[in-house]
Structure 1
Amino acid sequence: MKVLHISTATGWRGGEQQAAYLITELQQLNVACMLLCPQDSEIQKRASCPQVFTFRKKGSLNFSLAGQIKKICIANQISLIHTHDSHAHTAAFISAWLFGNKTPVIISRRVDFAVSGNFFSGMKYNHPCIKKIICVSAAIQKLTAPAISDKSKLSVVHSGIDKNKFNLQQIKNKLRSEFNLSNDSLLVGNVSALADHKDLFTFIAAAEKINAAMPEVRFFLIGEGPERAALQAEVKNKKLEQVLFFTGFRKDVAEILPELDIFLMTSKTEGLGTTLLDAFAAKVAVVATNAGGISEIVQDGFTGLISDVGDAENLSRQVIKLIENKELKNRLTDNAFKFVDGFTYSTTAKKTLQIYKEVLGENN
């Protein structure tokens, strides 16, 4: 079996990490993987793939990329195409529709919003070349289903993580040292792109309320993105510059995440929320909003605490509750640490391989 994975993102976010994990683990399962991605993209640099093809990034309708896909499939006798983002899906669809590529296509869908109702999207999702649509959560499957004529094409495979990347025996105080905080400072943080759908203004609003009740708590937004300037202005406006810090993009998340006492996710849309799985594995207590597929992993009162989207008041109360109730906090983190064993990238790869075999008729 030869699978061509297509990713069109130049940066590095959750979807690219999941694609890289999948490629690595599939190769351990004797699947020959090839990767097609933008030249000098982060996934080109980070993914462990023996054969990588590149292209120059253009707009969403990249006809030269569609032609390149067909040529790669023919030259390398590709069994399946697996696309990992919307533009990759579009290019694979055009390769079949306009260039006559016969290679079956599997798409991964991670986004927490419905498929557009326009004619092109309808064609793109229902073309005969599309054999399976892998959704990262049941919530995403439910959102996607109305646009799909053949519902049997929909499957759910949750994202997975590398639980072993966190060294919980030797937690370093890098954040505390870097930002001149005492070792007993309480830290509440979020690891994500600083983007609109993460609703980090609600994080800041919750931080303001927590700070009023517990001035000793410090807050971290770990990541980079287009909302940074506006978020920093909001922090300044609320006079929180001495208690809420921006770290920028970090390559040492596996080292600094376990430092947090509480992970506060305020997203208003979220496919699944794999950073929450990372928090579980790092034994960090979680408070999160009930967005997208989050409730499939953050089980209220068992693996974390859940609040309505945008409810800074309740989110702040839940954070304070965990700070004050160490027994509850420890119980949630212990439950979450065990729960995350079902969400390894190895499990994700095995379930994905079963879908590949189903499409190719190899299950028997």
Structure 2
Amino acid sequence: MQILQLVSERSWRGGEQQVAYLLEELRRLGITCHVCCRKGSAFEDYCKQNDFPHIALPFTKIFPIPTALQLKNYINRHQIQLVHMQASHAHTIGVLAHMLGANCNLVLSRRVEFEIGSSFLSNYKYNYKGIKRIICISERVREVLARSIEDSNKCVTVYSGINLDRFKDLPNTKTDYLRRTYSIPEDKLLIGNISAIDVHKDYFTFLDTAKLLKEQGVKAAYLAIGTGKLEQEVKKYAEDLGLADDIIFTGFIKDVHQVMPELDMFIFTTIKEGLGTTVLDAFACRVPVVASDTGGIPEMIEDGVTGMLAPVKQPAVFAEKALQLIQDPNLRKSVVANAAQKVLKFTKEETALHTLAIYKDIIGIH
């Protein structure tokens, strides 16, 4: 089976981590994929370090044809049977390469729940005849996308997965890094949000929730773990709310799975989320979650069973749900236990097996 993963992004974010997990799991199953990635990208470094056969191309948006031609030549030379396009620009290059004569099937991954653009080019690209399946990371993403796809049966759900091995030893290696680094006393709860500080993650609701909890007498330090273009604006908002001494902006933490277990609660106030694998990280770390009732999150969180759900931009409800977990130890214990079982359905191994089944179905291997 000759598979090529098409990865167009320069940086390394959640989508790239999912591709890396897929490559590693498929290799474990005896299938070493080819990779086409952006020259000078983090993924090119990853391919070199892990000895994946790859080609690095410019992926320029202004002149995409030369990249598509080089990709077409690589596909035909290596007799690639299927190209898995992993992001929007990869989608464009993959379709162009196919139009230029690449002899392969196409599969597309869709990770966001936004409607596709209404332009002719967007509609053409998503309904391109060479695309055999569109793999969506949640049912919600699939439902939204299917409205714009002429043959909606092409849209299938394969949940993103996490690497549970990262967490198996954490109860024995808890470091209290956050308390030591930021001098947080033992009598304060640690309540965190781990996400980019941008519009869609809505840190303003996180801060409003913190203010309400403080007014209710909750003793806690609130940690904003991440960075982003709205960081200064969010910091000013914290000051305006009188929370300057309560909110800690840690910036980006590379090994976030090592600090997640230190949290007493994870509050995730995102506005839109294809799935939200940080919720799964919290499940694995046995940290209770209060999260927005949006996107694919309700497919992981059953309210009051595996976590707590609150409507988007409703800090009063977020605070109410957080208080329930703080004040009811039995609820907290049951939520954590149920979440630890739920996460077993969202592993990188499960993701790879379901994806491989789709590949085999398209190629005709049974």
Band of TM-score, shorter chain = over 0.9
Relative to structure 1, is the Cα distance of residues 49 and 232 closer, same or farther in structure 2, using a 3 angstrom cutoff? farther
Relative to structure 1, is the Cα distance of residues 184 and 25 closer, same or farther in structure 2, using a 3 angstrom cutoff? farther
Q: How many aligned positions are there?
A: 362
Distance 1:243 1:121 in 2: 45
- Structure 2 contact 84–107 (Cα < 8 Å) conserved: yes
Question: SS of the residue aligned with 1:171?
Answer: coil
Cα deviation 1:37-91 (Å, max 9, x = unaligned): 2233233334645223222353376222212211220222211111111111111
Answer with 41-50 or 277-286: which moved more: 41-50
Question: Which residue in 2 is equivalent to 1:138?
Answer: 139
Question: Which residue in 1 is equivalent to 2:283?
Answer: 280
Correspondent of 1:89 among 82, 87, 91: 91
Question: Which residue in 2 is equivalent to 1:123?
Answer: 124
Relative to structure 1, is the Cα distance of residues 58 and 248 closer, same or farther in structure 2, using a 3 angstrom cutoff? farther
Question: Which residue in 2 is equivalent to 1:347?
Answer: 350
Distance 1:184 1:80 in 2: 56
Percent identical pairs in the alignment equals 36
- Structure 1 contact 202–311 (Cα < 8 Å) conserved: yes
Q: TM-score, length-normalised on structure 1?
A: 0.96
Q: Give unmatched runs, 5+ long, in structure 1.
A: none
Question: Which residue in 2 is equivalent to 1:165?
Answer: 166
Distance 2:77 2:217 in 1: 63
Q: TM-score, length-normalised on structure 2?
A: 0.95
Distance 1:272 1:152 in 2: 21
The aligned amino acid for 1:77 is Q
Relative to structure 1, is the Cα distance of residues 161 and 211 closer, same or farther in structure 2, using a 3 angstrom cutoff? same
Question: SS of the residue aligned with 1:287?
Answer: strand
Question: Which residue in 2 is equivalent to 1:299?
Answer: 302
1:259 positional shift = 0.6
Cα deviation 1:233-285 (Å, max 9, x = unaligned): 21122221211111111111121011111111111110011110111001000
1:330 positional shift = 1.1
The aligned amino acid for 2:360 is K
1:215 positional shift = 5.0
Question: What does residue range 143-154 of structure 1 map to in structure 2 within 5 Å?
Answer: 143-154=144-155
The aligned amino acid for 2:71 is I
Question: Which residue in 2 is equivalent to 1:313?
Answer: 316
Relative to structure 1, is the Cα distance of residues 49 and 257 closer, same or farther in structure 2, using a 3 angstrom cutoff? farther
Distance 1:148 1:66 in 2: 24
Question: Which residue in 2 is equivalent to 1:25?
Answer: 25
- Structure 1 contact 108–135 (Cα < 8 Å) conserved: yes
Question: What does residue range 1-364 of structure 1 map to in structure 2 within 5 Å?
Answer: 1-46=1-46, 48-59=50-61, 62-97=64-99, 99-166=100-167, 167-363=170-366
Distance 2:165 2:147 in 1: 38
Distance 2:227 2:193 in 1: 12
Distance 1:115 1:300 in 2: 30
1:323 positional shift = 1.2
Distance 1:293 1:75 in 2: 39
